Chains A and B, each alone.
Chain A
Amino acid sequence: MLKTVLALLGAVAVLAAASPQKTAWGDPDLQGIWAQKYQIPLQRPGPDAGKPTLTAEEVKQREAERAQQAASAPKRGDRIAPRGTLEDLTGAYDIVFEADPIDTSRPIGPRTSLIVDPPDGRIPALTPAVQARMREMRAFMLALMQSVDACKRSQDIACFGVKPGPVSPRRNEPPPYYLAAQIMGDRVINRADGPEDFGLGERCLAGGLPNFGVQQIVQSPGAVSILYEGWQRVIPITNAPHLPSAVRQWHGDSRAHWEGSTLVVDVTNFTPKTDYQGSRENLHLVERFTRVDANNVEYAVTMDDKTTWEKSWTVKVEMARQGAKANAIYDEPRCHDGNIALKDMLIGARMDDKAFAERRGPDPATMCYLLCGTGNPEYARQRQEGRGGGAGPTPAGPAGPTR
């Protein structure tokens, strides 16, 4: 009997040894530094409707087109507003961290959207309640933009939808919902009364789930630790129930188990201060990490929140192994330690307040505290005529897959 057991175990050991993708204790091995392999938009763009995959020929053609566009496109930090104008100066903090408008760092992928379900590659419709919340937020944002001078002069991208008007009484109201959404330029409302008026990124509170960015995975028999760029999470491998509902966390509460060679992670208990594509504290993620071969991991994540979307949806990301020796992840969550800019922006806003009070400066309600100065057709024209700085289309926009 003992002999049989030993022989059996021996056979298991041989199998384990034969597969390089097992840890010393026999779990599937997901360890290493992983990064997204391809450039694929989160949602399938309109022109690719009904076309989930690309042929090798099409990929090649798109690569060539992209290279051509990148050669003539502006680079990150290029501003289109005339140097020294208010629009030139606003948003200067964010622009440093933006990607080049045309990112060529990764090859174009064989799929036309990261979303694999629903089959149309698009995020399912938002529920009426969330649509209403977004309309309310949008109305508040617009109210704070209606008195901005830049929006009276032309349709700057930050002024989209703004109907010029007097200073809104809503400038003194709190926003109808916590400013958790991270949208273009990070900051959501045109006001800088306190730290809460800023974007989560500017407050060094960004970085959450799901995360499709660079990550270093280290495993132990009972837990998996993942270092993302600037934050970490520990995933217990357990079938214990989730935390009590009253305990909410920025990174949620993760519980994992193995299904064959796939690590399945169930994440709940998010705080209402987070927002992923409209989903807040009710976000429920099911992540699936699968080692495909020596150099590839597949990360699939299903977003489930019936209070936000009419049905759940799933994203699949091909992750490629990065050189471990180069030790690419040495990031620390140091955003906050070096966040001099937030204090400076607040002090700047107080100086604006003071200048206005002393009749030395414009009403801050007429100034743009968002990312004005980009995407303005007038400035683009001026640049073509040789005036102003560089031209810049909108920043990465909704295709940017990293939160």
Chain B
Amino acid sequence: MKASLSRSLLAAIAIVAAAVAITTLATRTSGEPAASARIDGKPNFNGVWQALNEANWDLQAHEARAGAVTQPGVYPYPYARVPAAPVLALGAAGGVPASVGVVSGDGEIPYTADAAAKKKDNAEHWIDRDPELKCYVPGTPRAMYLNYPLQIVQSTNKIHVDFAFANAARTIHLDEVDEPPADTAMGFSRGRWDGGTLVVDTKQLQGNWLDRAGNFYSETAHMVERFTPISNDAIRYEVTIEDPHVFTRPWTISMPLYRRLESNAQLLEYPCVEFVEEFMYGDARSKQLVKHWEGDSIVIDITRKMRAEGVR
């Protein structure tokens, strides 16, 4: 009995060892995307990932727009607006692509009446208020679909998610840790495995924006994220947001995250703290670079030194 037990134990160890060896071999090949070998028997989400959608423009279904900022055109119809000064000089690069939306179910975000009014107000003051434009930490879940790469570094007791944007990061604790003493933009995340799905419970969040359309949640939000493998190179990412001060019921965002399959994919910096200094502090220079300030507001005059019909 004893002998047979130790024999089966050895066999089990050998199988584990073989798995370990395969894991190691499969993932050591330099420059190749991470293989599908499991981590401690769990799905392996390691790698560089990125959302490939328009969610950061607007979580909800929307048609394409002529500009990220528009103004009434010469016709009064709301569907005939034209690009406004902040993006006019960018031409077709300044517009907004259409989307079928990433909100599950009926596609509606169940705001309370007050919150719906605030969302609308946010949208009208996008440039002034969106924390993305100031390079603030994007927060959960917006960081996950901000259209910059992110890297998942998955171990057995912790998972780090590192973001190109603003050098942001979050830790998903699979082990037992104390709650942090303060709320954060990325929140306090505890993960567990539900079969092949990583379920992450996130709370202690500061309120944040969800997209450039002014969708938002408050500091009373609680989120449950689910990461499920679709294939080796795609993850079904779902997040259910509940926030009694903002929403009348929990609602869910769902989208795939795609693996960056370039053989040399790596997370590069998007050091926007430095990039936004002019945007944030330009009015307080002794010699302003932008010549038209009214108080601390930039007044944008577009001077296009190109032929109006385009450069040939």
The answer to whether A and B belong to the same complex is: yes
* Residue ranges of A at the interface with B (Cβ–Cβ < 8 Å): 6-7, 9-10, 12-14, 16-17, 23-27, 31, 193-196, 203-205, 216, 218-225, 227, 231-234, 236-240, 243, 247, 249-251, 273, 324-327, 329-330, 332-334, 336-337, 342-343, 346-347, 349-350, 353
Nearest chain A residue, comparing its CB with the CB of B45:
A220
Q: Are B185 and A337 in contact (CB under 8 A)?
A: yes
Q: Mark B158-178, 1 if CB is under 8 A from A, else 0.
A: 111010001111010101111
Interface flag for B193 (CB, 8 Å): no
In the assembled complex, the Cα of A238 lies from the Cα of B155 at a distance in Å of 18
A244 CB to closest chain B CB (Å) equals 10
Residues of B within 8 A of A240 (CB): 30-31, 264
Q: Are B136 and A336 in contact (CB under 8 A)?
A: yes
Show 30 residue pairs from A and B whose CB-CB distance is below 8 angstroms, ordered by the A residue.
Answer: A10-B13, A12-B17, A17-B13, A24-B39, A25-B23, A26-B24, A218-B159, A218-B160, A220-B153, A222-B46, A222-B47, A223-B151, A225-B151, A225-B162, A227-B160, A231-B169, A232-B167, A232-B168, A234-B162, A236-B266, A250-B269, A324-B177, A325-B178, A327-B177, A330-B184, A332-B186, A337-B131, A346-B285, A349-B284, A353-B286
Q: Are A334 and B20 in contact (CB under 8 A)?
A: no
In the assembled complex, the Cα of A253 lies from the Cα of B249 at a distance in Å of 45
Nearest chain A residue, comparing its CB with the CB of B178:
A327
Q: Are A24 and B137 in contact (CB under 8 A)?
A: no
Question: Given A234-B267, A346-B281, A31–B155 Cβ distance below 8 Å?
Answer: yes
Q: How many residues of B contact A (CB 8 A)?
A: 72
B200 CB to closest chain A CB (Å) equals 15
Question: Given A13-B17, A221-B27, A334–B137 Cβ distance below 8 Å?
Answer: yes
Q: Are B158 and A220 in contact (CB under 8 A)?
A: no
Nearest chain B residue, comparing its CB with the CB of A337:
B136
Question: Given A225-B162, A234-B267, A330-B188, A9–B40 Cβ distance below 8 Å?
Answer: no
In the assembled complex, the Cα of A333 lies from the Cα of B182 at a distance in Å of 14
Nearest chain B residue, comparing its CB with the CB of A257:
B30
Q: Are A222 and B27 in contact (CB under 8 A)?
A: yes
In the assembled complex, the Cα of A325 lies from the Cα of B180 at a distance in Å of 10
In the assembled complex, the Cα of A250 lies from the Cα of B185 at a distance in Å of 23
In the assembled complex, the Cα of A196 lies from the Cα of B281 at a distance in Å of 10
In the assembled complex, the Cα of A127 lies from the Cα of B180 at a distance in Å of 47
Q: Are A333 and B17 in contact (CB under 8 A)?
A: no
Nearest chain B residue, comparing its CB with the CB of A230:
B167
Interface flag for B124 (CB, 8 Å): no
A197 CB to closest chain B CB (Å) equals 9
Residues of B within 8 A of A27 (CB): 24
Residues of A within 8 A of B159 (CB): 218
In the assembled complex, the Cα of A247 lies from the Cα of B264 at a distance in Å of 14
In the assembled complex, the Cα of A337 lies from the Cα of B14 at a distance in Å of 51
Residues of A within 8 A of B27 (CB): 25, 221-222
Interface flag for B274 (CB, 8 Å): yes
Q: Are A324 and B31 in contact (CB under 8 A)?
A: no
Q: Are A9 and B169 in contact (CB under 8 A)?
A: no
Interface flag for B52 (CB, 8 Å): no
Q: Are B271 and A221 in contact (CB under 8 A)?
A: no
Nearest chain A residue, comparing its CB with the CB of B152:
A220
B48 CB to closest chain A CB (Å) equals 9
For A7, A232, A237, A247, the residue with the greatest tally of chain B CB atoms inside 10 Å of its CB is: A232
Residues of A within 8 A of B169 (CB): 225, 227, 231-232, 332-333
Which of B34, B44, B277, B287 contacts A195 (CB under 8 A)?
A: B277
Q: Are A221 and B13 in contact (CB under 8 A)?
A: no
Q: Are B28 and A203 in contact (CB under 8 A)?
A: no
Residues of B within 8 A of A10 (CB): 10, 13-14, 17
Q: Are B21 and A23 in contact (CB under 8 A)?
A: no
Q: Are A31 and B158 in contact (CB under 8 A)?
A: yes
In the assembled complex, the Cα of A325 lies from the Cα of B135 at a distance in Å of 31
Question: Given A193-B287, A219-B155, A249–B14 Cβ distance below 8 Å?
Answer: no
Known contacts A225-B162, A247-B268; 9 additional CB pairs below 8 A are: A6-B18, A10-B17, A23-B156, A24-B40, A221-B39, A238-B30, A240-B264, A330-B171, A333-B169
B129 CB to closest chain A CB (Å) equals 14
Nearest chain B residue, comparing its CB with the CB of A13:
B17
Q: Mark B121-162, 1 if CB is under 8 A from A, else 0.
A: 000000000010011110000000000000111111111101
* Residue ranges of B at the interface with A (Cβ–Cβ < 8 Å): 10-11, 13-14, 16-18, 20-21, 23-24, 26-28, 30-31, 34, 37, 39-40, 44, 46-47, 131, 134-137, 151-160, 162, 166-169, 171, 173, 175-182, 184-186, 188, 264, 266-269, 271, 273-274, 277, 280-281, 284-287
In the assembled complex, the Cα of A333 lies from the Cα of B165 at a distance in Å of 11
Q: Are B173 and A26 in contact (CB under 8 A)?
A: no
Residues of B within 8 A of A224 (CB): 153
In the assembled complex, the Cα of A132 lies from the Cα of B30 at a distance in Å of 42
Q: Are B18 and A9 in contact (CB under 8 A)?
A: yes
A315 CB to closest chain B CB (Å) equals 24
B160 CB to closest chain A CB (Å) equals 4
Q: Are A6 and B171 in contact (CB under 8 A)?
A: no
In the assembled complex, the Cα of A301 lies from the Cα of B153 at a distance in Å of 23
B261 CB to closest chain A CB (Å) equals 14
Q: Are B178 and A350 in contact (CB under 8 A)?
A: no
Q: Are A347 and B186 in contact (CB under 8 A)?
A: no
Residues of B within 8 A of A31 (CB): 155, 157-158
In the assembled complex, the Cα of A238 lies from the Cα of B47 at a distance in Å of 13
Q: Are B24 and A223 in contact (CB under 8 A)?
A: no
In the assembled complex, the Cα of A9 lies from the Cα of B12 at a distance in Å of 11
Q: Are A205 and B274 in contact (CB under 8 A)?
A: yes
Residues of A within 8 A of B179 (CB): 327
Q: Are A334 and B185 in contact (CB under 8 A)?
A: yes
Question: Given A222-B46, A227-B169, A337-B185, A343–B284 Cβ distance below 8 Å?
Answer: yes
Q: Are A25 and B24 in contact (CB under 8 A)?
A: yes
In the assembled complex, the Cα of A25 lies from the Cα of B40 at a distance in Å of 7
A143 CB to closest chain B CB (Å) equals 17
Residues of A within 8 A of B271 (CB): 205, 249-250
Nearest chain A residue, comparing its CB with the CB of B41:
A24
Q: Are B284 and A221 in contact (CB under 8 A)?
A: no
A64 CB to closest chain B CB (Å) equals 34
Q: Are B177 and A332 in contact (CB under 8 A)?
A: no
A5 CB to closest chain B CB (Å) equals 8
In the assembled complex, the Cα of A9 lies from the Cα of B25 at a distance in Å of 13
Nearest chain A residue, comparing its CB with the CB of B176:
A325
Q: Are B284 and A346 in contact (CB under 8 A)?
A: yes
Question: Given A13-B20, A17-B13, A238-B31, A203–B284 Cβ distance below 8 Å?
Answer: no
